Structure 1
Amino acid sequence: MKLYQVAPIAVAMILAGCAVGPDYQKPQTSLDSNVYQAYLHQNIPGTELGESQALKHAWWTQFNDPILNQLVIDAQNQAIPLKIAAQRIRMAQSYQSAIESFKVPTVNIGAGFGNYQLSKNDPLIGSAITAINPISGEELGLVDDNNSAFFAGATIAWEVDLFGRIDRQVNAAAIRKEQLVIMRGGLTTLITSDVIHNYLQMRGAQERKQIALQTAEDQLRTLELVRLMVKSGFGSDLDEARAKAMLAATQSMVPQLEIAENAHKQRLAILLGETPLQSHKRFTQVMPLPSFDGVIPTGLPSELLNRRPDIRIAEREMAAVSEERAAAIAAQYPKVFLTGAPGVLAKDFDDLFSSDSIAWAASVGISWNVFDGGRGDAIVEMQQARFDASVLGYQQSVIAAFGEVETLLQGYGHSQQYVLLINEAENATNRAVDKAKSLYRAGLSDYLSVLDAQRQQNMMKDRVVAAKLQTAHMTIGLHKALGGNWQVDSDPSS
């Protein structure tokens, strides 16, 4: 069959080429049909949750702390893990481009000069170089045994992706890049939440330390008063020992709180990608623990599938493995190759680019691995097992995500109730101090009762801070569990 007869057939095959292998279908869950329309712990009494409200961007600004807002911005710009994640995205983009390059012809160009010398004693072609004239008996040169030429040209090779193997590989590479982008968003969430948590814990440690120092001062005055009473015969050694024990116990809390404060500062330095000295300069001023002023919008449960990075990564994993499975199936089908080598060839350089120097070669080839001992089928089966495992992983991610949200919703609700009760207890101790002072001024009680009431008041202040820290921890955890975009720009007030 002539080449001009083969060409239309080849073109028809290319135009009629079709991808093989199953197409990916996003899995359906009960959430897609709105069966799960509300969280179980959505309406715990006393909680501040907004079901219908959208998630607030940069929600941590509701702590109304400019230092915290700037810390988050700096962490997202400076954190080394986020910079590493950005480089991995670049790598994935380059890999995708490399895979896409197989969809287009590969062209190599070259030029040079060649010289060759044929051997007259070559047993194969030596006799063809010269011959004897039967009339004159002279040796005649039939072929020039020494020749040289200039050449320039190109080599073109192209695999016609009739069955979509390369397309599937490109799709898989693109999905892998999507996964890395989602992972970077998830890492941004983790780092941001870690910054908020450590900042609030540091401020809480500072406030609790101030309370402990104040309590120690009150207990020291109590101890001095007890000693005076013991000397005057109105107290006992047991009273003095108890006062000493209470003072020592309070003083022992101070170094522990300083350790906690410093540990959170060092953690912040790591998250910010700064040295301990750089981070220390940020927190020279002691400030109270900020309170969250806002409502946490939970949204609908079905929205969680698109907000949680772990669920999105698991879904993209299914899509990527599905494409890799289809590529493995397509690899079992024939491969069609088109090659060509156009160029120019001439003995003299001046004739190299004349029309008579044009030379070319072209070919169409097919390659089909018809027997490999079952290797291709095994690879397809392996990819199928990977896909089935990714489906189970997706289901596990969805179940774990909703379990985490439900747990934190309940914990957040109870933490708010705990804060309300602790605040009531603090108000009661404040009234007890005022009453003890009134009785002392009226001469109806001694000053020891006043100091004891103040000690109870300081202890309750510490418990109030601890309750606020617990609520802050639940607030951070609940926002993280609900997902969403945590990336911020450069404006700390946004």
Structure 2
Amino acid sequence: MIHIESTGLIAGKPAPTGSVGGAQQFGQPAQSLWELACQRWGQWQPLIFSALVTASLTACTVGPDFQKPQATQIADWAKPAKSAPSQAVSEPLNERWWEVFHDAQLSVLTQRAVQSNLDLQLASSRLQQSRAARQVITADRYPNTAATGSYARERNSGKGLNDPSGHNGDSAFNLWDAGFSASWELDFWGRVRRETEAADANLEVAENDRRGVLLAVLADTAQNYIQLRGVQNTRAVTEQNLDVARHSLKLSQLRLADGVATDLDVAEAAAQVAAIESRLPALEQRQSQLINAISLLMGEPPQALAKELSTDAAVPQSPLQVAIGLPSQLAERRPDIRQAEARLHAATAYIGVAKGDFYPRITLSGNLGSQAMQLSDFGSWSSRAFGIGPQFSLPLFDGGRLRGMLQLREAQQQEAAVAYQQTVLRAWHEIDDQLTAYNASQRRRDSLAEAVRQNQIALRTAQQQYVEGVVDFVNVLTVQSALLATQEQWVESSTGVSLAMVGLYKALGGGWESVYPAAKVAAGLPGVVKAPTDIDGSAVADLK
């Protein structure tokens, strides 16, 4: 490394003369050659400095420029059967998709989850870390300055090269020093710019990580709430069937008393009542688990929402039309695709950083201050000292470290490119699977609705025929069991339709836009985390 810098004056003493290699002995009169050199440097200094700065700002940038990848596209989504009651249409995706259920309780829970979810707060912390890391890296693009100062009581050897006290080591002396220093790496090859580019891309990775967490929180809140309402409706159906079974038991007991029924009829009716009752504890347990799951999403302790959510309500139903957007908008909407693209961008920029390490690093450094042996002389014009000059470092032999790092970065870019294609392909499969599930669940629900109607007719007929003595009681029990099974299946399928729609919206990547806009990082505001927007439009703090 070559370091070139100017020398200054010390403690008001005249510039030294007669030194080896241009360094002059302390205490001799200043020479005209030194004065001439200082004059020349003063004339050329602004020109040299301007040239270096201009060259740094207009220098080339090594490494490949990032090109937005072309993802696999499909022409259109899979369409449901025209007979399906709810149709998926290629219209702009509803960013507030949870509102299509028209369930006020669900909207409130969604808002609270956005405000208080701990996973979301962790993602916000990671985003803040990424912003701070970007600020650290971008600081290398600017000059670094520092104030310096020191005091020392010294005594030099009388046999050394220089004794500034003039007493040949016979006495000690004071040395006061204060000033400013500055250094600036001139980014001729764009290495620092590539580091900044990679930091911006990593910040985009963190932003989309937060959006992905937000999307998962929205979907999990809706799915747990829908499942809770489904369990409550299943319990209501079970309790209704339990009332019917108890009525049948009482009827069989009355007929036994009249001598027209047998003990077998009563035992079978009692067994039916017990079998239906046995279903209730499992449903109550499942309800408690789902309430706890929702409480966890809200950042609340167990059973904190038990009073609020224990009251039965209908399962939220899907609308007649479900807007699912256009296939071409998928890459702009799904956080995981945006995140994979940002990772590819960062990997591409790191190749430029690795290539920049092969080139010389040129740094412009300087200092300006005052140095004196007497405090009374400190700050006088003759005690001024300065130095300025460039230095460079060029790697000559490193055992292949730089070459290995470049190969590593290139391999990481290839991995990121494949990961991007895989993420896009997985997204298409997830959407197609969710569309299929949504369509199939609607058909299953409609078929089960018809089965429930027919079983209700069959039960009324069987009960009437049993009273008339046409059929045995076992026929009533068989039809009653079939009705209970189909009713529970219908509630499950109705719940499944709404769950499939939530899964579809999650696969489409919608919902985070209205809560956390896809704004680019403010170029001049590193380290500032913007508060996301609540679903009402109000500000929500990232961290509690």
The answer to whether 1:296 aligns with 2:337 is no
Partner of 2:109: 71
**Range moving further from structure 2, 45-54 or 17-26:** 45-54
The answer to whether 1:89 aligns with 2:127 is yes
Amino acid at match of 2:65: D
Amino acid at match of 1:485: G
* Structure 1 residues without counterparts, runs of 5 or longer: 131-140
- TM-fit CA distance, 1:345: 1.9
Partner of 1:464: 490
Partner of 2:239: 213
Q: Secondary structure at the match of 1:361?
A: strand
Partner of 2:229: 203
- Which residue, 21, 45, 52 being the options, matches 2:63? 21
Amino acid at match of 1:407: D
Change (3 A) 1:332 1:274: same
- Which residue, 48, 54, 59 being the options, matches 1:7? 48
Change (3 A) 1:450 1:71: same
Amino acid at match of 1:383: R
Matched ranges for 1:77-476 at <5 A: 77-120=115-158, 122=159, 145-230=171-256, 234-236=260-262, 238-432=264-458, 457-476=483-502
Amino acid at match of 1:7: I
- TM-fit CA distance, 1:22: 0.6
**Range moving further from structure 2, 73-82 or 45-54:** 45-54
Q: Secondary structure at the match of 1:342?
A: strand
Q: Secondary structure at the match of 2:278?
A: helix
Cα pair 1:118 1:146 within 8 Å, conserved:
yes
Amino acid at match of 1:419: R
Change (3 A) 1:277 1:260: closer
Cα pair 1:45 1:413 within 8 Å, conserved:
no
Q: Deviations over 1:340-366 (max 9, x none)?
A: 011112334344333222210112111
Cα distance in 1 between the residues matched to 2:459 and 2:263:
26
Partner of 1:46: 84
Q: Report the TM-score, using the length of structure 1 for normalisation.
A: 0.87
- TM-fit CA distance, 1:68: 1.1
Cα pair 1:115 1:146 within 8 Å, conserved:
yes
Cα pair 1:63 1:293 within 8 Å, conserved:
yes
Cα distance in 2 between the residues matched to 1:49 and 1:367:
66
What is the percent sequence identity of the aligned residues? 28
Amino acid at match of 1:353: G
Cα distance in 2 between the residues matched to 1:30 and 1:195:
31
Cα pair 1:50 1:299 within 8 Å, conserved:
no
Q: Deviations over 1:115-161 (max 9, x none)?
A: 321233x46668x988xxxxxxxxxx578853223322011111111
Cα distance in 1 between the residues matched to 2:67 and 2:534:
39
Amino acid at match of 1:365: Q
Change (3 A) 1:458 1:396: same
- TM-fit CA distance, 1:429: 3.7
Amino acid at match of 2:71: T
Cα pair 2:72 2:424 within 8 Å, conserved:
no
- TM-fit CA distance, 1:460: 3.6
Cα distance in 2 between the residues matched to 1:29 and 1:198:
33
Q: Secondary structure at the match of 1:155?
A: strand
Change (3 A) 1:281 1:223: closer
Cα distance in 2 between the residues matched to 1:302 and 1:276:
43
Amino acid at match of 2:409: Q
**Range moving further from structure 2, 168-177 or 292-301:** 292-301
**Range moving further from structure 2, 169-178 or 226-235:** 226-235
Amino acid at match of 1:376: L
- TM-fit CA distance, 1:166: 1.1
Cα pair 2:86 2:319 within 8 Å, conserved:
no
Amino acid at match of 1:90: Q
- TM-fit CA distance, 1:91: 0.9
Cα distance in 2 between the residues matched to 1:431 and 1:227:
24
Aligned CA RMSD, in angstroms, stands at 3.1
* Structure 2 residues without counterparts, runs of 5 or longer: 1-36, 516-532, 539-544
Amino acid at match of 1:113: Y
